[in-house]
Amino acid sequence: MKRIALPGCVREHFGEYSTFVALVSREGGDWGSVVVEAARAVPVLQNLNVADLKNTVLGISSKDAFDVARLISGGSLLYGPPRPIENAQRDACLLNLFEALGEHAEFFTNHGEAEDGETGDFSTLSCHVNVLAETTIDVCLIGVSDSKVLILWRFEDD
């Protein structure tokens, strides 16, 4: 697994202490193993394992994935976003991250609305999640292509 440089805009839109953002290479093999290996750098994710990850996340569309990415980058999950969910600069940055995966990427999340399929509302703060981190709440978005894995993760304690 090799980490790929992130666009400079990422620092502006993801909190250093409450989020984990990584773009890593994937040379075949299981994407879950790539995620777990990359996430081990984060103390609250050190006990993450492939089986729990794959049993907890569900597939979502790229449109819904973009909404989850907005939620993760938009501010606190417990206390609401410090800035508006609509943010053109942030959306451009997220689009840049998504483009790095290519147009055939698959997306997965532990956001509870994924259970509702296409009717889920991924922009709401009043949602349940299937917690994977060692925190009160966490929301992850995992983007998978043939050659890369994008990991966006927000975790918080109350």
Series of mean pLDDT values for 10-residue runs along the chain (158 residues): 84 77 89 94 92 93 90 75 67 91 92 63 58 83 95 87
CA–CA separation, 98 and 116 (whole Å): 23
Domain spans of the chain, in order of start? 10-156
CB contact at 8 A, 111 and 137: no
* pLDDT at res. 124: 57
CB contact at 8 A, 89 and 83: no
Taking the C-alpha atoms of 30, 6, 117 and 46 in order, what is their torsion angle to the nearest 10 degrees? Answer: 60
Which of 94-110 are b and which e, b meaning 16 or more Cβ less than 10 Å from the residue's Cβ? Answer: beebbebbeeebebbbb
Gyration radius from the chain CA atoms? 14
What is the model's pTM? 0.87
CB contact at 8 A, 157 and 135: yes
- Read off the amino acid at residue 130: N
Give the DSSP H or E segment for 150: strand 148-156
Q: What is the pLDDT of residues 44-53, one digit of tens each?
A: 999 999 999 9
Two structure tokens written together for 83: 């800035």
CB contact at 8 A, 107 and 64: yes
Residue 102 is given by DSSP the state -
